[in-house]
Amino acid sequence: MFRVLVVDDEADLRLSVASALSENHYLVDQAVDGEEAVNKVHAGDYDLVLLDVNMPRKTGIEALREIKEFDPSIIAIVLTAFSNVRDAVEATKLGAYNYLEKPIKADNLVYMIDKALKAHNMVKTMSFSAPRIQLPGNTEFVGQSSEMKKVFGVIEKLSQVDTAVLIRGESGTGKELVAQALHFNSPRKDNRFVTINCSAIPENLIESEFFGHEKGAFTGADSRKIGKFQYADGGTLFLDEIGDITAGMQVKLLRALQEKRFTPVGSNREIEVNVRIVAATNRNLEEMIKKNEFREDLFYRLNVLPINLPPLRERRNDLEALILYFVDRFNTQYRKKVSGIADDAMEVLRGHNWPGNIRELENVMEHAFVIENSDRLSLGSLPEALVRSAGRPAAARLAENMDIDDSDGDEPVAGISLGAGIVPGAVVDSRGFRLDISKLDFQANKEEFEKQFLISALKAFNGRINQTALHANIPKKTLLRKLEKYGINARDYTM
Ligand SMILES: Nc1ncnc2c1ncn2[C@@H]1O[C@H](COP(=O)(O)OP(=O)(O)OP(=O)(O)O)[C@@H](O)[C@H]1O
Ligand SMILES: [Mg+2]
C-alpha cells in the first residue's frame, strides 16, 4: 500500500483529505505544519506528501525543499490557495510533481495521486535493494523488459567489484548511463566519475589527456596538467568510444591498466593510481582485432566483464515506460501538463524501428513537447520524417502479419493515456500478443488475449491486485478468478 502524508494546519481540510484517501486504499498519516512534516518524513517511509503552503513554524515550500533534499524520490503535491501561481511555480521548481488549487475536490485529488504514483511506479529505476539509483542531473535509468532487468542485475553485481567492464551496444542505447550506474552504486561513489571521450580528442593531445604532462612537455604545454587517470584516483574512469583510440595509445593504455601506474608526458616520475576502468564502444572490436585495428591483449583486459545493451527495437516492452519517463521529465522541464498521447501518434511510436535507440526517442519526445499546444501529444507534434516513415497504416501491417484480409478497415490502434482510466492499449502491446491463426478459433484466441492483457496490466501496476482491477476496469473478483484460471501469480510481477 502507498503511504501518503497529509500536511495542513487546518484540521478540517486535513481530516477530509485523509478520509478521502483512506477510502481509496492509501495509508494516510497527518502532520500539522512543515516542521512536523519534515520530522515525519525523516522517520517514516512515505511515497507521497501533500503539502499546504501557508503554515506556521515552517511553510510548505521550505518543507518541500528539505523533503526533496532528504529523498528526491518522494512525490510532493502542493495545495495552494486559489490562483496563487507564484507558490505553484516555486514548488514545481523545487521538484513538486504538481499542485492543486483549494478548495480541494476529493475526486481530483485521488485522480492526481493515482496518476503520480503510476508514473512513479512505471518509471521506477532498478530493483536494487540499495536506495534508488542516483544519477547526476536527475537522470533515471528506466527499463521493465526482461532484457533490461537482466542488465540491471548485472550492474548491481558488477558495481561491487573493481574489475574492468566493457559496455557494448548501438549508439543511444544507454552505455553512458550504465557506466554511471556502475559508479554511483559502487563503494567508489563518493570519488570522481571521470569520462574520456576517446573519439573526440585530437591524437596529439590524447596521451596528455590520459596521463597529464609536465610544463614544456610539448609546444603549447605552458603549465603542468594532471591527466584524467590521476584525476579519477579512487573513483571510476569511463573510456567512452574505446574503439577509436590509436594503436600507440592502445599500447600505453594497456600498460597503465596492467601496472596501475603511468608516466605523465615529459616527466620521468611514475604515478600510481587506483581507478576502476569502465569502457564503452558501439564498434565491433572482434572485427577490428581481425583487421589488426584493435589489440587483442587490450580487448581481453577490458572485456573481463562485458555488458551488452540490446537495441530498443529488441526490447519494445520498454517503450511505454520510457515514454512515460520522458513525458514526466519534459513536463517538469517545459512546465507542461501533458497527460496522454493520441492513439495515432502512439501507433507511429510503436511501429518505428528506433535505429537511434533511446536517444532518438528522447529527441522525438522533446520535439513533440515543444510543438504540442494541447495536453495530449498529437500526431502533428511528431517529427514529419518519423510520421512519413511510419508508412502504411497499422491496420495494413497487422493484417499482413495475420495473413488475413483487412476489409472492414478497423484500425487496431492502441493509445496510451496517463490518466487514471488507462485504455487497454496502454498495457497491451499488440505485437506481444500472438494470434493463433492456424486454429482460427475465437475462444482460444480470446483466452490468449485475456491472459496477455492481464499479465501486462499486472506488470504496469507492480502486481498489485487492487490497482490493476481499478485501472483495468475489471471487478476484483473477476480478476482473481481469471488469474487463477490462467495460473498467473500476481506476485511474479512485483518489482
Ligand atoms: N534506460 C534508459 N532510461 C532513461 N533514459 C535513457 C535510457 N537509456 C538511455 N537513456 C537516455 O538516452 C540518451 C542516450 O544514452 P547514452 O548517452 O547513455 O547512450 P550511449 O549508448 O552512450 O550512446 P552513444 O553510443 O551514441 O554515445 C541519454 O540522454 C540517456 O539519458
Ligand atoms: Mg555514449
Contact 285, 299 (CB under 8 A): yes
| pLDDT at residue 83 is higher than 60 | yes
Confidence band for 392, pLDDT divided at 50, 70 and 90: very low
| pLDDT at residue 126 is higher than 50 | no
**The pLDDT of residue 33:** 95
| Nearest atom within ligand 1 for CA of residue 318 | 1
- Residue 400 alpha carbon to ligand 2 centre in Å: 37
- Residue 177 alpha carbon to ligand 1 centre in Å: 6
Residues 101-129 have a mean pLDDT of 68
The protein residue whose alpha carbon is closest to atom 29 in ligand 1 is: 359
**The pLDDT of residue 35:** 95
Choose which residue among 171, 177, 283, 317 to substitute to test ligand 1 binding: the one with the highest number of ligand atoms within 8 A of its C-beta.
Answer: 177
| Nearest atom within ligand 1 for CA of residue 139 | 31
φ and ψ of 29, to 5 deg: -130, 160
In the chain, CATH 3.40.50.2300 covers 3-122
| pLDDT at residue 430 is higher than 60 | no
Q: Which residue has the cell 490518466?
A: 419
**The pLDDT of residue 120:** 59
Question: How many Cβ atoms are within 10 Å of 321's Cβ, its own excluded?
Answer: 21
Residues 220-240 have a mean pLDDT of 89
**DSSP result, 144-213:** -SHHHHHHHHHHHHHTTS-S-EEEEE-TTSSHHHHHHHHHHTSTTTTS-EEEEETTTS-HHHHHHHHHEE
Confidence band for 251, pLDDT divided at 50, 70 and 90: very high
In the chain, CATH 3.40.50.300 covers 136-310
- Residue 197 alpha carbon to ligand 2 centre in Å: 8
- Residue 29 alpha carbon to ligand 1 centre in Å: 39
Q: Which CATH fold would you assign to the domain 316-493?
A: Helicase, Ruva Protein; domain 3 (1.10.8)
- Residue 221 alpha carbon to ligand 2 centre in Å: 29
| pLDDT at residue 92 is higher than 90 | no
Q: Which residue has the cell 480541494?
A: 104
- Residue 178 alpha carbon to ligand 1 centre in Å: 9
CA distances from 219 to 224, 248, 268 (A): 12, 20, 18
**The pLDDT of residue 90:** 83
The protein residue whose alpha carbon is closest to atom 23 in ligand 1 is: 172
Those residues with Cβ within 8 angstroms of residue 266's Cβ, 6 or more apart along the chain or in another chain? 213, 214, 215, 216, 217, 218, 221
Looking at the chain, the number of H-run helices and the number of E-run strands are 20, 17
- Residue 172 alpha carbon to ligand 1 centre in Å: 5
The protein residue whose alpha carbon is closest to atom 12 in ligand 1 is: 359
Confidence band for 173, pLDDT divided at 50, 70 and 90: very high
**The pLDDT of residue 133:** 45
Confidence band for 223, pLDDT divided at 50, 70 and 90: confident
- Residue 346 alpha carbon to ligand 2 centre in Å: 27
Confidence band for 220, pLDDT divided at 50, 70 and 90: confident
**The pLDDT of residue 319:** 92
**Mean of all residue pLDDT scores within the chain:** 81
CA distances from 336 to 92, 97, 140, 422 (A): 11, 11, 20, 20
**The pLDDT of residue 200:** 82
The protein residue whose alpha carbon is closest to atom 30 in ligand 1 is: 174
The protein residue whose alpha carbon is closest to atom 7 in ligand 1 is: 174
CA-angle at 336, arms to 333 and 339, nearest 5°: 120
Task: Tell me the residue type at 95.
Answer: G
- Range from 260-264, 327-331, 437-441 carrying the lowest mean pLDDT: 437-441
- 400 vs 383: which has the higher pLDDT: 383
pTM over 0.75: no
Task: Tell me the residue type at 453.
Answer: F
Q: How many CA atoms lie within 13 A of 436 on its CB side?
A: 10
**Nine cell digits for residue 490:** 500476481
**The pLDDT of residue 459:** 81
In the chain, CATH 1.10.8.60 covers 316-493
**The pLDDT of residue 478:** 87
Look up the CATH architecture of domain 136-310. Answer: 3-Layer(aba) Sandwich (3.40)
Q: Which protein residues touch ligand 1 with a CB less than 6 Å away?
A: 139-143, 169, 171-177, 282, 322, 325, 358-359, 362
Distance (Å, whole) CA 413 – CA 375 = 20
Look up the CATH architecture of domain 3-122. Answer: 3-Layer(aba) Sandwich (3.40)
Choose which residue among 359, 360, 362, 366 to substitute to test ligand 1 binding: the one with the highest number of ligand atoms within 8 A of its C-beta.
Answer: 359
- 92 vs 18: which has the higher pLDDT: 18
Which ligand neighbours the alpha carbon of 167 most closely?
A: 1
Which ligand neighbours the alpha carbon of 179 most closely?
A: 1
**The pLDDT of residue 440:** 62
Residues 323-338 have a mean pLDDT of 89
